[in-house]
Amino acid sequence: MKINKYVDISTIDREAKKDYIDRHSPFIHCESTAKAGEKFKVTVKLGDEYTHPDDFDHYIAWVQLWNGDLMLAQATFPPGTLGNQSGHVEVDFHIVPQKNLKLSAMSFCTKHGLWHSDDVNVEVS
């Protein structure tokens, strides 16, 4: 299965291509530092500028949070989670880190496949 990655949409000419890339890409939002043994919030949001459909045959089926090659969490969605309206899938994961993190997120669109985020490093003290 091909893994798709985000491309800076400001470098792309065609609006349709910008829409396609942005709305499928997972983005990680969290602090850059955390305390060992304490709950740490990581938000994964799909799309920055463009929303994703929520149709019966075209929707985001799941979002995963990874630390390197270890999957930390997964949220699974049936069609209609967003009320059959186009929107941004957004998930808050709460983890308890013990050491530095190299976070990434993956998501799966039922029509356009697997998408991978950029890595986000978190220093744990």
* pLDDT confidence of residue 11: 74
Contacts of 110 (CB under 8 A, 6+ apart): 57, 58, 59, 60, 61, 79
Q: What share of the chain is helix, strand, coil (3-state, %, to 5)?
A: 10, 45, 40
How do the pLDDT tens digits run along the chain, 125 residues long? Answer: 678 887 776 777 667 667 788 899 999 999 999 999 999 999 999 988 888 989 999 999 999 999 999 999 999 999 998 899 988 999 999 999 999 999 999 999 999 999 999 999 999 99
* pLDDT confidence of residue 9: 66
Radius of gyration of the chain (CA): 15
Does the domain at 3-124 match CATH 2.60.40.730? Answer given as yes
Q: Please state whether 20 falls in left (phi above 0), alpha (psi between -120 and 50) or beta.
A: alpha
